[in-house]
Each structure stands twice: as structure tokens, then as C-alpha cells.
Amino acid sequence: MTAPVSSLHTSTQSLRARLAPKLREFMPRESVLSAEENLRPYECDGLSAYRQIPGIVALPNNIEQASRILRLCHQEGVPVIARGAGTGLSGGALPLEQGLLLSLSKFNRILEIDPLNRTATVEPGVRNLAITEAAAPYGLYYAPDPSSQIACSIGGNVAENSGGVHCLKYGLTVHNVLGIKFLTIDGELISLGGKALDSPGYDLLALMNGSEGLLGVIVEITVKLLPKPERAQVVLAAFDDIKKAGDAVAAIIGSGFVPAGLEMMDNLAIRAAEDFVKVGYPVNAAAILLCELDGTHEEVSVGVKQIHDLLQKQGATEVRTAKTEAERAGMWAGRKAAFPAVGRLAPDYYCMDGTIPRKYLAQVLTQISAWSREYGLPVANVFHAGDGNLHPLILYDCNRPNELKNAEALGAKILELCVAVGGTITGEHGVGIEKINQMCVQFAQPELAQFHALKAAFDPKGLLNPGKAVPTLARCAEFGRMHVHGGKLKFPDIERF
């Protein structure tokens, strides 16, 4: 039974009155936010369809303050939601009315660039792109590059195990993090890994990547840096049929090439990006591929020629190669700006994040197109084609009755289709609250029970980011969905997969 609004308001005021004075005993007054107008900026992350004003916000300046905040919340039984830059797309940082939102925005220092070990040690609030900028004078860079890299924080990247356009060759965040320090819910500081390539004991470092703030609050990260390639070159190929583009992706991977990046955009996304950044995309194409090769001058020259010939054999109507660094940057600018570009087409859009085996790319896109017509909602498709990570962008207007509901329903079908063909419900955005029902489709009850046992080992009271990522077994029973067996869901319209 839901409590009356007046009751919730009273209990929220009580939380603020109880916590704020205790927090201000060891924090500056301005670092503890309790007035509603100061709390509004924290009511949502990048998935802005869901909003909730937090009970209270704390902005610690250092690890000691963060530790004391967690100890206080642990003693008081107050839930804690850690937040970075707020660019997340699954509602992972959505606050609780009866919780404390722990903002790590002041943890924004680059602590060390070690060119000999090729590592950077940074605080979690450091922007992704800032790491590469700091490493550039040494001829080094940080490889994972989400589209939001100009704004997203490295702590959030670790929490969601973010990818990016170059993750095909260089891996996700988990493959590029060497060490972290995190605080437990009772304020204990724990170190995992370091500058070495391996560390003794269980691989808890990998466990923390993608843990979505459920296990601890990350306060320091050591990442590996890579030498900047001698040369990088992009090949753009246009196709008059989306199936041909999907088949070309499989052909590139099947030929033995491992491109630095292999991205695909459909016509709606192409036109939106071109209208936004004007980089010369072929707007009449059904789909385009962006394939980047990097390495020595010699190997890139040979590779570009072979990729060019392969794409033509796969039915590309046009193949062009970036001749200069400016042309290369322009080709990527359109892809990097695809999300904001699509945002100009409708008042709202719902960004999905599923991953599928590459061989099903064309079939899944065909099914998404059919469902788009059925629901009357346009879908722009932008994705990391090389590793099968789809980002369908469902356009809608939340001011129209039922459009948000229909967008969510379409999104759910897309995610469950990803599972049905042997994929997953998320590639890099995380589960958060957005995909929590689809976790009931992805995993069986014994698996979910193990997830809960793992969380309990780190957070026995369940105070860290409660209600996110891992559904309760009761929720799955209420949701009424069975676990997928043998890669098949009992949906008549996708049975052919």
C-alpha cells in the first residue's frame, strides 16, 4: 500500500532534519543539500523519463568525508545512491525519496600519469576524455571512448562497464582497469589490483566493473594507457539495404580483421546526424558502416585496401576513405553526435542497449522495423556493429497519452528479442531500473538468488543503490516471465529466430 503524499513529505522532512546536522558536523554547510530547489538537479540521470527528488544530497571533498557519510548512513539505516556525472542511460543513479544521494563530482583530480608503467590513477569524477588529454603529451591515450566521453565520469564508466566505438579491438572498461579503491557501506576502504597486470586472489576487480553501485562506492581508479597508434584511418561504406550492411559486418569479422572500431547507422540516424553536424554522410543510404583500422603505416595501408575491396564485394553502393585526420574526425563526429542529433527529431527518445550475436544483426533490425510500424513509433538505430551492441532510439512524445508506455513496451520487446537470439539485455548502459524486469527473462531464479547472495556479502542491509540492477524473486514472479531456455522465448512473432 502506498503511503499518502503528506506522510511521505513528512518522513522526508524528518530524514533531512535528522541527517543534515550530523553531516554538517564534518562537512561544509554548502556540501549538504536539503532544500528542494537545490535537490532538483539530481532528480534524474540521462534516462530522464523517470524522476525522483532525493531525500538529501552530500558532496564530499575527500575519501575521509565519504567514509564518514557511509558510516553514518549505515548506522541510521539510510540507503545511499552514488552518482557521477549523471550521464547514465538506465536510471542507475535515480535517487530515493528516503535516501541519501552521494555525489562524487568533487572527486575530479588526476592523481598521477605514469608514462613508464603506462597507467593513470584518477578520482572517479574525472571525465573520460580528460584522461586521454592528460596522457597525450606522453604519446598515450585511454582507449574506452563512450559517445558521452566529453562529459561522462570514469567512476560511472566502471560502475556500468562502459564501452565505446573502439571497444571492439581494445575492450570494455573492465579490460582497461588495473586497480580501484572503494568504500564499503560501513566506510571501510578496500584496494583491489594496482599497476601490475595481475593480482593474487579472486578477481574481485572484475566483479566491481559493472556492479552499478550495489557493492561499494569507488573513490580511486588506476587505468592502463596505450601508445597512440602511428596511424588510424576510417573507411565509410554506404548500402542500399540494411541486410547487406549487416552481412558486411559479418564478412569483415570473418575475414580475420579486428578493426579498432566498426559502427553502423540506419537511414534515420544518418539523416539526423548529417542535419546536425553536416559531415557529408550519404543521406539516401539505407545504412552506413564506419570501419577504422589503426597500427603502423604499412599495416593500415594494406588493411584499408583489403577492407575497401571486401565492402565493394558485399554490395556497398559507395566506399570512401578518410584522407586526412580532419576527414577522419568528421566521420566520427557524426557517429559520436548521433544521440543528440536524434534528440532533435522528437520531444523525447528512449535509448535501448542490447547485445546480440552478429549473425542475427539483419534479422533483428528487420524485426525492430516491423515493431516500429506496429507501435507507430519511429526507431533510429545506432550501434557498435562489430560486437553486436545495439542502440535502438525509440522516438516518442511523453505529452501524448500512452506514448511513454508504448515506448517502454516496444523497448521491452526489443530487449527480450536480444535474449531470444542468444544475446543480453545490456552491453554497456547497465540495468538500473530500466531493464530490471528483463533481468527476469535473462536469468533463472537460482542465478538471481546467487546475485542477491553476492550483494549480501558486501552490503548485508541492502543499503547501496537498492532496487536497481537485480530484481527480487518476488518481482520476477509478479512480472510473470519465465527464464529463456535454449535461446528461445515463446513469442510467436519471433519464433523464427
**pLDDT tens-digit series, residues 287-299:** 999 999 999 999 9
Q: Specify the pLDDT at position 438.
A: 95
Query: What is the H or E stretch that residue 436 is in?
Result: helix 436-442
Average pLDDT, integer, range 405-429: 96
379 close to 369: Cβ distance less than 8 angstroms: yes
Distance CA 84, CA 430 (A): 14
Distance CA 225, CA 242 (A): 36
| pLDDT band, residue 426 (cuts 50/70/90) | very high
Percent residues over pLDDT 90 in the chain: 86
Give the burial string for 265-290 (b: 16+ CB within 10 Å, else e).
Answer: bbbbbbbbbbebbebebbeebbbbbb
Name the DSSP letter for residue 25: T
With a cut of 80, say whether residue 137 has pLDDT above it.
yes
Largest Cα–Cα separation, the chain = 70
Average pLDDT, integer, range 311-333: 96
pLDDT tens readout for residues 466-481: 999 999 989 998 876 5
Domains of the chain: 5-103 (3.30.43.10), 110-227 (3.30.465.10), 231-341 (3.30.70.2190), 346-494 (3.30.70.2740)
Q: Specify the pLDDT at position 9.
A: 64
Give me the helices (H) in 33-192, please: 36-39, 63-76, 128-135, 154-160, 167-170
With a cut of 70, say whether residue 1 has pLDDT above it.
no
Average pLDDT, integer, range 78-93: 96
In this prediction the pTM is: 0.92
Distance CA 261, CA 335 (A): 11
